[in-house]
Structure 1
Amino acid sequence: MTETMTAGAATLDERAAVAFMSSLPTVRWDDIETAAEVTEQIARRIGDDRALLRALVDRVRRTPELRQKCECHALDDKIVIWDAPERGLRIRLRLANTDQYERVHNHRYSFTAYILSGAYQHTLYATDQPLDETADVSRFWPYFIREEPAGRCITLDHEQLHTTITEPETISLMIQSPARKQRAFMIRRSDGQVWWRQGAADESAERRAEVQMSDQRFEHWVSRLEAIGVL
C-alpha cells in the first residue's frame, strides 16, 4: 500500500475521499490469497476511518449511479459506496436486519468482509450433489463453524457454500469482485426451498423496484450507523 493508505484524517471532504479511493490498487481476484491480503488492507483502512467512511456515505446521496445500487432484502440491506468493477472494487456496507434465517448459499462474486460491528455465526458447507432444483437440503454438510466478531476480516471464493447468521444490525464493509457467474445458488435449511440470486442486469423492472432502498430507509441507516459508532 502507498503512504496515502496509512494516513488518517480528522475530517475529510468529498473531493479528498474520491481522490483517496481513486488511488486504491487494482485487485486481481483470480489469485484469491493475494486478493485477500490486498482487500483486507483496503477494508481496514476504510472501515477504521470514520471521516472517510462518512464522506463516502454522504456522497452516495448525490451520486445517482451509487444510490440506485442501494437495496433492501429480507436478511440485510446494502449501501454501495464505491463501484469500480474494472479494478475489482465494488465496496459496500452490509447492514443486517433483525429477522434472520439460515440459507446455504454461494455468491456470484468472491468477496472480503470486514466486520465493523456485531458478529457473524459463520458456517462453511460441502456437498456431493448438483446445485439445482433437485438439491437435497440434508446433503449439505458443515465442516467449519466459527463466530466472526467485530474486527475480523474474512475472504470467500464465489464457489464456497456457507451461511451467516448475524446479530441484529451487524455492519460489515464488503469488497467484492466482478461477477463470476450469472446467478448464485440458495437453499433454505428449514424447508429445502431452492432459489437463485441474480445481478441487477438480469432482474425485471418489478424486482428492481421491489429491492430499491427508499430515501427514508437510507436515512434510517445513516442514523443507525452514527448511533452504533461506525460513522
Structure 2
Amino acid sequence: MANKLAAGNWKMNGTTAQLAEIDALHKAHPDPSVDILICPPATLLSRLSDATKDSAIATGAQDCHAHNSGAHTGDISAEMVKDAGGSYVILGHSERRTDHGETDAIVQAKTQAALDAGLIAVVCIGETEAERDAGTTLDVLGTQLAGSLPDGIDGNTVVVAYEPVWAIGTGRVPTLEQIAEAHDFMRKTLADRFGSAADDIALLYGGSVKPGNASEIFATSNVDGALVGGASLKAADFTGIITALENA
C-alpha cells in the first residue's frame, strides 16, 4: 500500500521570512502519521533542509535538469538538489510543460536523472480544460504516463500527481467522481506496466485543495494524498490538509 503524502509546492513564492511557517508546521505536527514534503524555490532549499533536518518534514525542489552539469545557465541538476539537502523533486508540472515547453520525453529524462541521483520524483500529469471538455482526459493521462515515466520505477522512487490544469489555482475542483475516475485509471495503467510495484506508488491529487475540501478528496478511491500549491504557504492552512489526510 502506498504511503500517504501531503506535498507543498511553494512555486515562485517565499523569501527567508517564509521559513517561519516551517517552525509552525513542525510544532503542529511533531510526529505526523503521514509523510510531509515542502518544495520551496531553489533559493530556499538549502536553508529549509537545514531547518527541517531534525523533523519529520522532507524537502524537495520544483524542477531539475536532465543533465548532471554543463552549460545550462539558470538550471540546477538532480545532484545539486541532493547536495542541498533535498530528497524529492517535482517534475512535469503543468506550469513547466506550458511555460517552458516541456514534453513527456523531457519529463522522462529529468525523472531518470532524479532517480539516478537518489531523489524521489513527483511526476505531474493532467488535462487542460479543452481536453476535459472534448472527453479525452483518460487518453491524455495515459499518454503522459507512458511518456513521462521511465522503466523500473516503484513506490520508493516515484510519486504520481494528477493535477487537472483547469483546477490549478482557480478554485474549481473536479467532482469526486471525476477525481476517482482519473485515479482509478492511473492505478490500473501503472499496474498494467509495472505490475505489483504499482500498488506502492502514491497517487496525489492537486488542484485547489483546501482544508475545507480535503477530507472528501482523501476519501476518494486511490487518492493517497495531495500536491498543494497556495494552501501550503501558510502553516495554518496546510495543517488542516495534513490533519485531514491523517484522519482519512
Range class of TM-score, shorter chain: under 0.3
| TM-score, normalised via structure 2 length | 0.25
Larger radius of gyration: 1
The structure carrying a bigger helix percent of its residues is: 2
